[in-house]
Structure 1
Amino acid sequence: MAIEKLQKRGKKAPKDVAIIFGVTGLVGKQLLEKLLSKSKWKVYGVARRQEMTTIKKPNTNTNPNYHFISCNLLDPVETQSKLSHLHDVTHVFWVTWASQFPLDSVECYDQNKAMMSNALDSILPGANLKHFSLQTGTKHYVSLQGSSLDHLVKRVSYYDENCPRVEGCNFYYGLEDLLKERLMGVVPWSVHRPGLIIGSSRKTLYNFMGSLCVYGTICKYLNLPFVFGGRKDCFEEQFVDVSDARLVAKQQIWASTNDLVQSNNGQAFNSINGDGSTWKDIWGAIGEKFGAVVPWEMLEEDFTFAGCMSDKGAVWKEIVKKEGLVETEMEDLANWYFLDALFRCPVKMLGTREKADRLGFTARYYALDSMSHWIDVMRNEKLIP
């Protein structure tokens, strides 16, 4: 059996060898950077396309220990061809997902499970796995299905990792069940549940920082007020945890290399900053970071980002050309419907950090500091002025 081979391979390779599925994403890029900063790691990065920027990072683009693999994981034949020869892999980091279908749909569930299954079919037979790290999210705890969500809107819930599953076709559950089935209690694995991930990447569907940065840039350029469009509750109360991509990556590496937290039955961790800031607390400072006009009344409940920004593609092209930025379409970085949905979030998805803190993972970030950092990163990468 494939799993038995995992335990019977010969001499240990001189390096730990990671494979990052979703290496060009918000957390994937951070995993890559942090692993390559340590000489013991060799890294394979898997994505459909390699992300290109004008900034050349020596730790990634020129590091001989990094090998990029372009692969469509939904194609079992291509996945087998591209990955089955990687017999030296010791650590898997799964930070990708298939976004073709709506969340909570049967199609989304089946497609994501099939994608991971194709990868496992390809790498398990020859690998000497020490750990598998799976990234999902705090939506693990909440179902958005049902006729009325009023009882959840007002409820302040801080979910811990042992909360039971809820109704709905959540593909997170399918991926966890697949790992239990395929790793068979032999290989340790962990699941990490971030909230709103703060980081920098191109063409990430739910790229909050990309959306925020394009909005702030256009507001400054056109002298528009930097308003918050959403429900008053979402402005004044915390509905979603913020998760800095650096913290999420650090936690995954910590869990995959720390013998004290290894579990062959799977170990779950909320992967959140642990900061209780609300948008009301930090929105004005974010606007000032962009140099935009921040009105005294920042909240406009009738304002929608899709309604105000969707027709600004030509303006964005003008900014890109004038400022000498990396050539992008506005839609590459910004998802206005995501911002509108986020700032009108119908349920609270707040986790507790108690478990990670107790076991020794105490890294923390403040939401405003995270956003300021990633604005600077996107400026350095010439994605925004």
Structure 2
Amino acid sequence: MNGTQMKDKKTALVVGATGVVGQACLRHFAALPDWNVIGVARRKLADLPPGAQSLQLDLQDRAACEAALGQRDDITHVIYAAVYEQPGGLVGGWRDQDQMRTNLDMLRNVVEPLDRASSALTHVSIMQGGKAYGVHIHPRIAVPARERWPRDDHENFYWLQEDFLRERQARVGRWHFSIFRPRIVFGDAMGSNMNPIPAIGVYAWLRHERGLDLAYPGGAERVNQAIDADLIAEACAWAATSPNARNETFNLDNGDVFTWQNVWPAIADALGMQVSTPEPQSLGATVPGEQKAWEAIVDKYGLKAPRDLVGFIGQGAVYADFQMNHGKEAPLAPVIMSSVKVRQAGFNGCIDTEDMFRKWFGQLQARGLLPTAEMARAK
């Protein structure tokens, strides 16, 4: 490829590239023929997709961000998927003033150095979610939640980041933005605070090794929605060049609805297990303490997964408790967000939610991060 062709390529800066959304976006953009992609993370990026570049950067360090980004003339798009959470602040901490301000500063530290008169920047995408509608604080929201509703009256760093983008874009006018509100996100990222897949996989194999079937550990049933991380990546690529996505907000989901109880048999089957009677329990209180048992599983099956259990699941067990309604009693109001707007705008990606669960557990097994039923039979 000659220099002119390289210069004509668009370059995406994927910020938060170790997270569940960031990893999916890094893979997706790296596979597109007309894109360069750079993954940004505080931790060193390992196993980069072919063609991807990496940039190790602490987003809370304003001077470091200015030095790393302030003179770049190649970055045309930013996919911002980073989030700061204080320890133990996965749910309640979202209204903490320091946590809110830190998340605003991190976004500012990326956008402001890139946004200069000579900048190539044309588009910025950021992530919100169901918390924009107050699903974490309201016992019930109207169904379905729609993007055109007035802003829900609660404190949230989403609003700080959104207001910053809107004000700056209106002032300079050289670039556009898109805001995505995905439902419960699922992917294969290890050590993520908001990906329950590894934690569920560990919970399943802890039970397997004790001769137990897979019991559903959550609380009351609730009709909900999921979103495959790969679909978010596809939506970001669509929004990067679509005029219909400019300065717009979009809900995202797989295209169907689910309850944990109804998809649990598919999850068990994907993991090579049978379903047993539900056993309500807190995964956040039990799974992280199973370090020795996890090490035994890693050694027994020769897994490539980290021996450090928390390094593998992050806060995924706590997040699973929240999403599975641990400690809640029926009936629970459904949480449904309309995805009509993004489909009418031109993005029509979808996946069956049961197929999504099978896909992600299958990928963890294929990468040697979780055992398979065949491995267990061979022991």
TM-score interval for Structure 1 and Structure 2 normalised by the shorter chain: 0.7 to 0.9
1:191 corresponding residue in structure 2: 179
Q: Output the aligned Cα RMSD.
A: 2.0
1:354-369, aligned counterparts within 5 Å? 354-369=340-355
- Looking at structure 2, the residues matched to 274 and 356 of structure 1 have their Cα atoms a distance apart, in angstroms, of 11
- Looking at structure 2, the residues matched to 33 and 143 of structure 1 have their Cα atoms a distance apart, in angstroms, of 30
State whether structure 2 residue 301 is matched by structure 1 residue 320.
Answer: no
2:236 corresponding residue in structure 1: 252
Q: CA deviation at 1:258?
A: 1.5
1:133 corresponding residue in structure 2: 125
SS at the partner of 1:220? helix
Q: Using a 3 Å threshold, how does the CA distance of structure 1 residues 51 and 210 change in structure 2: closer, same or farther?
A: farther
SS at the partner of 2:73? coil
State whether structure 2 residue 189 is matched by structure 1 residue 201.
Answer: yes
- Looking at structure 2, the residues matched to 262 and 269 of structure 1 have their Cα atoms a distance apart, in angstroms, of 8
2:111 corresponding residue in structure 1: 120
- Looking at structure 1, the residues matched to 312 and 77 of structure 2 have their Cα atoms a distance apart, in angstroms, of 30
- Looking at structure 2, the residues matched to 245 and 76 of structure 1 have their Cα atoms a distance apart, in angstroms, of 29
Q: 1:82 aligns with which of 56, 68, 72?
A: 68
2:324 corresponding residue in structure 1: 343
Q: Using a 3 Å threshold, how does the CA distance of structure 1 residues 34 and 307 change in structure 2: closer, same or farther?
A: closer
* Runs of at least 4 residues off by over 4 Å: 345-348
Gaps of 5+ in 1: 1-11
The answer to whether the 8 Å contact 2:20/2:194 transfers is no
- After superposition, the C-alpha distances for 1:3-59 in whole angstroms (9 at most, x for unaligned) are xxxxxxxxx941111111011221212222221222221112110123435xxx6xx
Q: Using a 3 Å threshold, how does the CA distance of structure 1 residues 328 and 168 change in structure 2: closer, same or farther?
A: farther
Q: CA deviation at 1:270?
A: 0.6
SS at the partner of 1:192? strand
Q: Using a 3 Å threshold, how does the CA distance of structure 1 residues 222 and 177 change in structure 2: closer, same or farther?
A: same
The answer to whether the 8 Å contact 1:277/1:367 transfers is yes
The answer to whether the 8 Å contact 1:143/1:166 transfers is no
Q: Using a 3 Å threshold, how does the CA distance of structure 1 residues 337 and 29 change in structure 2: closer, same or farther?
A: closer
- Looking at structure 2, the residues matched to 291 and 284 of structure 1 have their Cα atoms a distance apart, in angstroms, of 10
1:34 corresponding residue in structure 2: 28
- After superposition, the C-alpha distances for 1:272-320 in whole angstroms (9 at most, x for unaligned) are 112112222210221122123311x3x334x222344343211101111
Deviates more, 1:96-105 or 1:250-259: 96-105
The answer to whether the 8 Å contact 2:80/2:127 transfers is yes
The answer to whether the 8 Å contact 2:59/2:106 transfers is yes
State whether structure 2 residue 271 is matched by structure 1 residue 284.
Answer: no
SS at the partner of 2:8? coil
Q: 1:217 aligns with which of 205, 221, 227?
A: 205
State whether structure 2 residue 149 is matched by structure 1 residue 163.
Answer: yes
- Looking at structure 1, the residues matched to 320 and 65 of structure 2 have their Cα atoms a distance apart, in angstroms, of 34
- Looking at structure 1, the residues matched to 288 and 21 of structure 2 have their Cα atoms a distance apart, in angstroms, of 27
State whether structure 2 residue 292 is matched by structure 1 residue 309.
Answer: no
Q: 1:21 aligns with which of 15, 24, 27?
A: 15
- After superposition, the C-alpha distances for 1:129-150 in whole angstroms (9 at most, x for unaligned) are 22111111121111644xxx55
The answer to whether the 8 Å contact 2:225/2:258 transfers is no
Q: Which amino acid aligns with 1:253?
A: A
The answer to whether the 8 Å contact 1:225/1:293 transfers is yes
Q: Which amino acid aligns with 2:153?
A: E
TM-score by length of 1: 0.85
- Looking at structure 2, the residues matched to 38 and 31 of structure 1 have their Cα atoms a distance apart, in angstroms, of 11
2:249 corresponding residue in structure 1: 268
**Identity across the alignment (%):** 25
- Looking at structure 2, the residues matched to 137 and 373 of structure 1 have their Cα atoms a distance apart, in angstroms, of 23
- Looking at structure 2, the residues matched to 90 and 337 of structure 1 have their Cα atoms a distance apart, in angstroms, of 36
Q: How many residues align?
A: 350
Gaps of 5+ in 2: 1-5, 372-379
